[in-house]
Every structure is written in structure tokens, then in C-alpha cells.
Structure 1
Amino acid sequence: MHTEPSSRHIERHLTNLLPSEALEDHAEDVGVVEREGKLQLPPLVWSFAFGFAAGESRTLAAFRRTYNSTADESLSPGGFYQRLTPTLAAYLRDLVEYGFDEVAVPHTVSEEFDRFRDVMIADGTVLRLHELLSEAYKARHEEQAGAKLHLLHNVTDQTVEHFSVTDEKTHDSTLFSTGSWLEGRLAIFDLAYFKYRRFALIDENGGYFVSRLKKSANPVVTEELREWRGRAIPLEGEKIFDIVDDLSRKYIDVEVEVEFDRREYAGTQSRDTKRFRVVGVRNEDADDYHLYITNLSREEFLPADLATIYRCRWEVELLFRELKTQYELDEFDTTKKHIVEILLYAALLSLVVSRDLLGLVIEHADDGIVFPPERWAATFRSHAQLILRELREYLAYSPPPLLQRLIEDAQKIHKQRPILQEQLATTIQPAAEA
């Protein structure tokens, strides 16, 4: 049942998420700015969050203009740029981490996932950077620079459980840690995270997993979990990829035994085995099977259910697409590492605010209304400037008059750098006089 939103509902909601006093106190604690300084932290934070969503271009100059239209006092280009420091990057990262911890969108996944505490998807995406950053962000190929954003996406709450930024060469798999936090949760992996020891630890911690089966793994079938009538090819004792091309059945449902190394302890490493379930769903168009490995039981999840579950990975692909298309995450034209980080965390802060408002919208909408993620992202972006303006009024900031800001933004900055019209006049005038 929806509730009628009151005036200023959005502004109160956002300032409850990121209270001004908390923004200022943390900035002072980490040394971003002194309390008596000219820079106003709440307008700066909101300018990054909404400026990234609303701006036609994601340039530093555009962010400065957004800040100047929000804060009480304008900052000159030099005054703005000198405040873009590694300390500010770390501060914004703190806000993103805090925001993702606080944001929770109402339950949006299918009923078939109700038995899990959460459905989690781990994935990463590459951001191409300026080649002069190749030392700070090593890429897979020489003469390139690339960062990688790793996300642990909570499909249940439609938010991000954990994120990290590394160079492109860092493997996704090293960023996923197992532990008791997995109890009752379902983790969905692509082949970048494939590791038998990881699957064993998830199972031993009371968690669940579904992953594509890597062809090089090729485990031995120990038992068929579904009987086939007639002259069906027996699978028991066979390696799954050695026999799969000879099969024509709609589904494969077997138990396999896998062998793996335990973590080294006291200088020795033991070998262990574990049994998991492998499911195959025939893809008639390609005349092959999609093969998955899991610890979910056949009693609760049929082969077709496993294929449906795995398609949830599309959720994180949509998330990356939102970051890259709506917020242009991979278009960073800078040679400074900390500026890359500031812009990256600003984009993630936009995502935090977007998800937080989506939760508010769902709360006040009629039951049964669906908000597709990409449509919501486009809606949020189209309204970002209006929300920022109303937030500025709610927080009682009074920016300088528009005419004054136009004069400040449009005037020539560097006296030693003549503008094009002056260069043309200087060149043409002597020729005309002659």
C-alpha cells in the first residue's frame, strides 16, 4: 500500500542519508578541509552526486559550475582544482562505503529466491584510462592503462555489498573472500571466479553457489540424479566434457567428484575431494549445453531453475551498463591518479543516491508497479538538476546571482594565453595596415 509523499520528502530523505553535520565532521576528521575554510562540503558532495548524473559532460569545469550554482560562495578554477586531492578521493570513498551500507531497496527478486538471505553476484569491469597512468594502473597490454572496478552486487536489496578498485591486471577472483558472511546466501559466479576450493568453502560456511562449469575442469560423474528411459547413454564414471557432445537429452543432472588443494598450513598443503551437482540445459539454437556447477539440491531446484538463477547475472551487467552509459564511467580524460579516483567515487556516489531514491519511490508507489533499472536510471538522471536545486533551497544555501556566475565562468582565465579572436586580430591587423 502506498503512502502519500509530503512536500520536501525527497530532500529530507537525502539529508537523512548524508547529514550535513556528518559530512563536515568527517571532512575535518580526515583533513579534507578546515571548518573555517571557504569550501562548503555538503554542496561539494551533492554537486558530485548529482553533477555526475545531470551534467552533459563529466569535466572538472562542469563539476565546478555545479558547485558554484549550489554553494554560498563561488570558487575560482584554481581554488576548486587545488581542493581535488588524494585526501578528497579517500573521503569520497568513505561516503560511498557508508552509503552502500545504508541503502536498502525493498525486496525485488522472484519468490523462488525467498529461501536465501541474499542473492549475491561478483563481477568486475575494465575502465580504460590515459596511457600516462600505465604505471599506476597496469593494463593487460603494454602502452595502455586500465583500472578495474570490482563489485559484489546484492540482487535482493538492489545495492552494492562491497566494491574495490585495482589495476586491470588484478584478477577478479582474488577480490572475493569466503567466510561466515556467506551463510544462507546464494553467490552466482562467472568463469573468472571458478575455483573448487572456493566452492567447498562456501558450502562449508552454510552458503550456496551457482557457477558456469569451466571446460578445463572436466570432473568425473559419480551418480546420475535423473533416470532416463530407453537406451540412454550412461554417464556414471565418465568425465562430463568427454561425453556431453554425444548427448541429446534436454537436461543433464548428475553428481560429480572434484579434487582440489586446501590452503597451505604450517608449510604443508593437503589434497581434498568434494561432491557437487552439475546441471546441463540444452541450448537448441547452438546445439550444445549450458553447464552449471552448484550445491543446490535437486529436491528444491530443477535444472531449468538453475538456468533461471544464473540469468540473474544480467543484473550486474545492467549495473555496469548504467555506470558506463548513464554516468560515462569509462570516459576519464585525466593523467592524475587521484582525479580518476575522485570521478570514479563520484559516479558510485550517484549510484548510491539513485538507489536510495528508488527505495523511496517504491515505498510511495502503488503496489505492483515495476521500475526497470535502466528506466529508473534515465529518470533519475533527467531529474537530477531539479532535485539538486530543491536540495540547495532546503539546505538554505544562496549561491551568487546568476549574472555574476556567468561573468566568472565565461571570462578569460590565463592572461598569458590569448584567446583565438585576439590571435586573429594580432595577425590580421599588421597585414591590413601594410
Structure 2
Amino acid sequence: MRRLTTLFPSEFLEEHAEELGVVERDRKLQIPAFVWSFVFGFAAGERRTLAGFRRSYNSTADEPISPGGFYQRLTPSLVEYLRDLVERGLDEVAVPDAVDADIDRFKDVMIADGTVLRLHEFLADEYEARHEEQAGAKLHLLHNATEQTIERLDVTDEKTHDSTLFRTGSWLENRLVLFDLAYFKYRRFVLIDENGGSFVSRLKQNANPVITAELREWRGRAIPLEGKQLRDVLDDLDRRYIDVEVEVEFKRGPYEGTRSLDTKRFRVVGVRDEDADDYHLYITNLSREEFFPADLAQIYRCRWEVELLFRELKTQYELDEFDTSNEHVVKILLYAALLSLLVSRDLLDLVTEQAAEEIVFPPERWAATFRSHAQLILHELGEYLGYSPPPLLERLIEDAQKIHQQRPILQETLATATQPRCEH
């Protein structure tokens, strides 16, 4: 329990909540219990619901909170507060696993990616989707695979393009960035190169640059490629690897109202996929002297780390199941899921430290284990923090009773409707 309270000390949780106006000075709401109920507030096999979070709080804190008292706390201030906690946790916790590729020459390996979250259709105005009569948000992450941290996260509507949130600059120096096709843009690659950074990206299907040189010599009657466009010769090649220099055309940034055209030479590598009888094509500014084609393919597989992270968030933490039409609640549940992930990984580090060296903990299996024990952990954490919740019977009565006296229970309504009427 000390590990968790070091990650989020109670004093910090209370002081920051006051700063942002999440709680009043009378402290009727016990903010540490409130935060931890969001982190651990789900049981094995149960969907995340606001009522479930409230029950978790009532089973932990000294005094229960009413449904109205709980729901009125779900404000934009709480959104900002939970986001701050996520950012604090990101600085402390490793997410996800380390990269195995031998790329120590770089200061950091960065992975940019995003995933779509389907929302209630009533939120279509706030979170515009690509298709009509739908609502969708997008979670954008910039993952530092070297330090095993998430350096940046953003939440936008689905229509916001991933690439608009990636900023080039001097921070790229001596860093390697791995992109999927959503970030493909020649000008972006040029700016990374000019800032002293490196990149590897899949080559877009409609990209057809001119080959200016071959970077590998072939024996025999090899097909000459120089001067030809890349896509025009692929079907004629049967090599295991393609390794060429290409020239691309791009637009510079606006200057005095105009944007000039420019060219830049990069390297394109192809690795043959025998099953598909095709090539996986990558564009990069990494040199052949340091990285052979097979090395680039191996490096690009590091992107799978983020795909696994998104899959864990969606399968174990139900990140894409938002049954609410409240914009603020969507963000609260999103940050609650991220906090759950961060705390889960922090406990995984602790478990790994205590276990024998030969024991392996697959991330998704660990996530399922953590989730199934979440209520137990919350109970022990509450005891560690000194909380004395009401007796179990009192909590059962509180949670199970009808909330609104004027609202009939469904079974009562049906029973009344089906009773035979007496003739007068």
C-alpha cells in the first residue's frame, strides 16, 4: 500500500483538489477515497458505471455519499483534476514494456499513435465522427519507448487528424520517431531531419517517389532501378530486400504569403512478405551503414508496443464503452481508465521486483489479474489510509434501496398493471 500512496500521496490529492475547486473546504467529500474509488472502482466482469464508482467510494470512505452528491461532483474541474493525476502518474510509471531492439545510439525512441473511442450519439456535436449519426473521440499518445513512459496525451473528436497534434522542433534532436500512415507527410519528415532527429514510417500506398540511387549492389542481370518511379518496378522485382535512395517533393512553410516547392532525398527500404507476395515498404533517414533493411523492419515492430497498450485499455479497461451522453463524464471515465492502467503497471513493477527472476508476467494476463483483485486492493488501501466505512449491512441498505420515492420500481409497475380489476 505504501507504493500506491507514494505515487499519489493523500496530502497532494487533497491540496490539489482544493486548488482546482473539486472539493469545498469543509471536506465532506474524502478526496483520497474518491480518487482511489475511480482507480479501483470495478469488479471482475462488471461494466464501469457511475453507480459502481459510487458504491466503491461508499465501501471505502468514512461516510457514504448520496447519488446526487456524487453526480454533482462530475464537473469540468474534476476532469482537469484527473488529467493532472494522469500526467503526474505518467512521470512516475513505466508504460508499457521496454523495447528490445538494439537502438541505444538514440536518446529516445518515440512512437506516435491514436485510437478511436466510440461515444453516445447524443455527443455528436461535441465529438464529431467521420460518419453521420455517430459520435467519436480520439485518444492521441506520444509514447517514449526508451523510458517506458507516455510523454503526451490528447483527447479530440474523431475528425481531428492525428498528424495535427505532432509538433516538430528542437526536441527531436537525437530521437527516433516511429510513425504509422496517419502521420505520413514529406514535409514532416524533412523537419525531423533538419532538427537532427530520425524517423521510420510505412510508405503510403499512393506515394511513388523517383529512385535516384540503389544502395545495394546486385550480382548478375539485376533490373536497374535508378531514374524509375518506385511503384512502377515493384511487380518486376523478386528480391528479398529493396534498398534505394529516392527524391520526394514537398512544400515549405508559408513565407510572405507563398509556399515554395522543394525536394529532399530519403531512403526507402522494402522487406518482402512471402505470404502476401508483396513488400513492406518503409521510408527513413537512417543510413544503410548503420541499419540494414531487416534492422529497420525490426525497429518498426516496436510500434506494436502502443497497439498492445490500446488493446489492453479497450479489452481490460473498457475504454471504448461510454454509455453516457455527458461530455464531462466521458473524459472522467477516460482519465479513470488511464489512472487504472498506470496504477496497474506500478503494481506490476512491484510484483516483478518481489517475484523470482525467471517468472514472466504477460501484460494482458497481469491486467486481468489486477482487475479481478481490484476491490480487494481498494479495501486494503482504505484500511491502510485509516478509513472506517459504515457497517456492511448499512451500506447494503443504502445502495439497494429505491432512490426516488416517486419513481415506481419496474416490478411494482408490472404487478399493478397485471392485477385483475374489480367491478364496481
C-alpha deviation, 1:326, in angstroms: 0.2
1:350 equivalent to 2:336? Answer no
Closer, same or farther: CA 421–372 of 1 in aligned 2, 3 Å: closer
Give the equivalent residue in structure 2 for 1:127.
117
User: Where in structure 2 are there 5+ consecutive unaligned residues?
Assistant: none
Closer, same or farther: CA 66–55 of 1 in aligned 2, 3 Å: farther
Q: Contact (CA 8 Å) 2:42, 2:374: kept in 1 or not? A: no
Instruction: Tell me the C-alpha RMSD between the 2 structures.
Output: 1.9
How far does the alpha carbon of each residue in 1:115-142 deviate from its partner, in whole angstroms, 9 at most, with x for none? 2222221111111111111100001111
How far does the alpha carbon of each residue in 1:369-417 deviate from its partner, in whole angstroms, 9 at most, with x for none? 4432212222222222222122111111111111100000011111111
Q: Which amino acid aligns with 2:137?
A: A
Q: Which whole-Å CA distance do the structure 2 matches of 1:420 and 1:208 have between them?
A: 62
Q: Contact (CA 8 Å) 2:250, 2:261: kept in 1 or not? A: yes
1:150 equivalent to 2:140? Answer yes
1:320 equivalent to 2:310? Answer yes
Give the equivalent residue in structure 1 for 2:67.
77
Give the equivalent residue in structure 1 for 2:241.
251
Q: Which whole-Å CA distance do the structure 1 matches of 2:213 and 2:114 have between them?
A: 35
Give the equivalent residue in structure 1 for 2:57.
67
Name the SS of the counterpart of 1:290 in structure 2: strand
How far does the alpha carbon of each residue in 1:47-69 deviate from its partner, in whole angstroms, 9 at most, with x for none? 11111575712110001001111
Q: Which whole-Å CA distance do the structure 2 matches of 1:369 and 1:301 have between them?
A: 33
Q: Contact (CA 8 Å) 2:129, 2:137: kept in 1 or not? A: yes
Give the equivalent residue in structure 2 for 1:17.
7
* Aligned residue-pair number: 424
Q: Contact (CA 8 Å) 1:260, 1:272: kept in 2 or not? A: yes
Give the equivalent residue in structure 2 for 1:31.
21
TM-score by length of 1: 0.93
C-alpha deviation, 1:40, in angstroms: 1.0
TM-score by length of 2: 0.95
How far does the alpha carbon of each residue in 1:141-200 deviate from its partner, in whole angstroms, 9 at most, with x for none? 111111111111222333321111101110011011112222222211111100111111
1:139 equivalent to 2:112? Answer no
Q: State the 4+ residue runs in structure 1 displaced beyond 4 angstroms.
A: 52-55
1:102 equivalent to 2:85? Answer no
C-alpha deviation, 1:358, in angstroms: 2.5
Q: Which whole-Å CA distance do the structure 2 matches of 1:12 and 1:315 have between them?
A: 29
1:231 equivalent to 2:242? Answer no
Q: Contact (CA 8 Å) 2:96, 2:149: kept in 1 or not? A: no
Q: Which amino acid aligns with 2:293?
A: P
Give the equivalent residue in structure 2 for 1:6.
none
C-alpha deviation, 1:425, in angstroms: 4.2
Q: Which whole-Å CA distance do the structure 2 matches of 1:283 and 1:267 have between them?
A: 45
Q: Which whole-Å CA distance do the structure 2 matches of 1:428 and 1:236 have between them?
A: 84
How far does the alpha carbon of each residue in 1:320-340 deviate from its partner, in whole angstroms, 9 at most, with x for none? 111110011111111110011
Name the SS of the counterpart of 1:218 in structure 2: coil
Give the equivalent residue in structure 2 for 1:4.
none
Q: Which whole-Å CA distance do the structure 1 matches of 2:96 and 2:351 have between them?
A: 10
Q: Which whole-Å CA distance do the structure 2 matches of 1:376 and 1:154 have between them?
A: 22
User: Where in structure 1 are there 5+ consecutive unaligned residues?
Assistant: 1-10
Closer, same or farther: CA 309–322 of 1 in aligned 2, 3 Å: same
C-alpha deviation, 1:245, in angstroms: 1.1
Q: Contact (CA 8 Å) 2:42, 2:52: kept in 1 or not? A: no
Q: Contact (CA 8 Å) 1:105, 1:358: kept in 2 or not? A: no
Q: Which whole-Å CA distance do the structure 2 matches of 1:362 and 1:119 have between them?
A: 24
Q: Which stretch has the larger CA shift, 50-59 or 271-280?
A: 50-59
1:293 equivalent to 2:283? Answer yes
Name the SS of the counterpart of 2:102 in structure 1: helix
Give the equivalent residue in structure 2 for 1:196.
186
Q: Which amino acid aligns with 1:291?
A: L
Closer, same or farther: CA 369–208 of 1 in aligned 2, 3 Å: farther
Q: Which whole-Å CA distance do the structure 1 matches of 2:34 and 2:96 have between them?
A: 29
Give the equivalent residue in structure 2 for 1:359.
349
Closer, same or farther: CA 14–53 of 1 in aligned 2, 3 Å: farther
Give the equivalent residue in structure 1 for 2:108.
118
Give the equivalent residue in structure 2 for 1:280.
270
Closer, same or farther: CA 361–204 of 1 in aligned 2, 3 Å: farther
C-alpha deviation, 1:29, in angstroms: 0.6
